[in-house]
C-alpha cells in the first residue's frame, strides 16, 4: 500500500502543541525532523561513545504525518488547517504550511514502535506491551502500555507532570475520574497507587479501545471502566452524570489542552467530592495565565503549579 505523507513546516517550540492537536483530531503517528541538540537525558539513553556533530539548530521543524490512499484526504486536511489556524491565534507556529508527497509501502502507523522502549518516570517503570520486563525490574511498579493510536505513552512532559501529582494526591480507596484518558495510563497509575476505582472518559473511539486493552493487560479491568463521552457537551454530561448516579470523585484528572481545561473548570465542581482535587496538564506555558484566571473565576483554590520544559500542570480544589 502506498501512503500519502504530509509535512507541516513549523517552529521547534510549536512541535509538541501541534502533535497534541493532531492527536485530538485523529491524526496519528506524527514524525519530527529538526536540528534541536539532544538533551543529556536523551544522550543517556543512546549507547554510543561519541555523538556526531549535527547541523546548527535553525529553529525550524518539519512534522510528517501519513494517510492511507483511501483516507478522506480533503476532510482531514481541512481539519488540520483549521487546527493550525486556531493555534496561530495564541502561539507562533511559523509558516504552518503543508506539503504532500507519496511514500513507499511501509507500516508508518506502527513504525514508531521501533523507537519506544521501556523507561522510568521516577520509580514507575513503563513498558510497551511488545517488550518483556527484565528480571531485575520485576519487583518495581510496572505499567504495560500500548497507546495504539491514542495519546499517552508516559514519555511526554504533560503526562509525567500528572503522574507526579497523582503520586502526591491519590489516597488508598480513592475514586478517580480521568477526562480525556487517551491510553488510560493515568487511570492505571492511580489504581496501582491504591485508588479503589477509576472512570476513564474520552471522545475518541481509538482511545476507548486502547484504554480497554491497557486495563486488561495491567490487570485492573475489574476496578476500572471507560466511557465514550464529551463532558463539555451539556446533554452528554447530563447523561453521564445520570448513568453514574450522580457519583462524585476524590480526584479528577485532565491531561488535555488549555482550550478544553478552561471550559472544563466551569463544570467540573459537581463531579468532585467535598475535598476533591482537580489535576490538570497539557497546558502550554503561553496559556498558563488564561487557565489560572479560569480556575480562579470558577471558585477554585490553586494548590500547585508545576512546570516541565514548555508545559504546565495546575492542581486545584473548589472553594466550598
User: pLDDT of 300-316, one tens digit each?
Assistant: 999 999 999 889 999 99
Checking if the pLDDT of 217 tops 90, the result is: yes
Domain 118-318: give its CATH superfamily.
Vaccinia Virus protein VP39 (3.40.50.150)
Which one has a higher pLDDT value, 194 or 42?
194
Q: What is the CA radius of gyration of the chain?
A: 20
Which one has a higher pLDDT value, 163 or 2?
163
Distance CA 225, CA 60 (A): 42
Domain 3-113, CATH: 3.30.70.120
The whole-number average pLDDT for the span 276-290 is 95
Instruction: Kindly report, residue by residue over 136-161, the tens digit of the pLDDT.
Output: 888 899 998 875 544 555 578 899 99
The confidence score (pLDDT) of residue 106 equals 57
Instruction: Kindly report, residue by residue over 88-107, the tens digit of the pLDDT.
Output: 988 999 999 999 987 655 55
Boundaries of every domain in the chain: 3-113, 118-318
Instruction: Kindly report, residue by residue over 165-211, the tens digit of the pLDDT.
Output: 999 999 999 999 999 998 899 999 999 999 999 999 998 888 898 89
3-113 matches 118-318 in fold: no
For the chain, what is the mean pLDDT?
86
The confidence score (pLDDT) of residue 49 equals 37
The confidence score (pLDDT) of residue 150 equals 43
Distance CA 91, CA 29 (A): 23
Which one has a higher pLDDT value, 292 or 233?
292
Checking if the pLDDT of 42 tops 70, the result is: no
Provide the whole-model pTM: 0.72
Instruction: Kindly report, residue by residue over 21-32, the tens digit of the pLDDT.
Output: 888 787 876 888
Strand-pair category, 224-228 with 124-128:
unpaired
Amino acid at each position: 500500500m502506498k501512503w500519502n505523507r504530509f509535512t507541516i513546516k513549523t517552529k521547534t517550540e510549536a512541535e509538541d502543541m501541534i502533535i497534541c492537536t493532531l492527536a485530538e483530531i485523529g491524526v496519528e503517528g506524527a514524525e519530527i525532523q529538526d536540528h534541536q541538540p539532544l538533551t543529556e537525558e536523551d544522550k543517556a539513553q543512546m549507547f554510543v561513545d561519541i555523538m556526531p556533530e549535527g547541523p546548527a539548530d535553525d529553529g525550524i521543524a518539519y512534522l510528517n504525518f501519513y494517510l492511507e490512499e483511501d483516507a478522506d484526504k480533503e476532510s482531514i486536511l481541512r481539519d488540520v488547517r483549521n487546527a493550525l489556524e486556531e493555534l496561530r491565534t495564541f502561539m507562533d507556529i511559523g509558516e504552518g504550511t503543508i506539503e504532500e508527497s507519496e511514500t513507499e509501502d511501509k507500516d508508518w502507523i506502527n513504525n514508531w514502535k521501533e523507537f519506544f522502549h521501556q523507561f522510568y518516570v521516577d520509580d514507575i517503570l513503563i513498558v510497551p506491551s511488545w517488550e518483556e520486563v527484565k528480571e531485575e525490574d520485576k519487583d518495581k511498579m510496572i505499567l504495560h502500555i500500548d497507546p495504539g493510536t491514542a495519546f499517552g505513552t508516559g514519555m511526554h512532559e504533560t503526562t509525567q507532570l500528572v503522574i507526579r501529582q497523582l503520586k502526591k494526591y491519590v489516597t488508598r480507596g480513592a475514586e478517580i475520574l480521568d477526562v480525556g484518558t487517551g491510553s488510560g495510563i493515568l487511570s492505571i497509575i492511580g489504581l496501582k497507587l491504591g485508588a479503589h476505582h477509576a472512570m476513564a472518559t474520552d471522545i475518541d473511539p481509538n482511545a476507548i479501545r486502547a484504554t480497554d486493552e491497557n486495563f486488561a493487560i495491567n490487570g485492573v479491568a475489574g476496578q476500572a471502566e471507560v466511557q465514550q463521552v464529551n463532558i463539555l457537551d451539556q446533554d452528554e454530561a447530563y447523561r453521564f452524570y445520570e448513568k453514574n448516579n450522580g457519583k462524585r470523585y476524590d480526584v479528577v484528572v485532565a491531561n488535555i489542552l488549555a482550550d478544553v481545561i478552561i471550559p472544563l473548570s466551569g463544570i467540573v465542581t459537581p463531579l468532585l467530592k467535598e475535598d476533591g482535587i482537580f489535576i490538570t496538564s497539557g497546558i502550554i506555558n503561553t496559556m498558563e495565565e488564561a487557565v489560572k484566571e479560569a480556575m480562579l473565576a470558577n471558585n477554585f483554590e490553586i494548590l500547585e503549579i508545576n512546570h516541565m520544559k514548555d508545559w504546565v500542570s495546575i492542581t486545584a480544589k473548589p472553594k466550598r
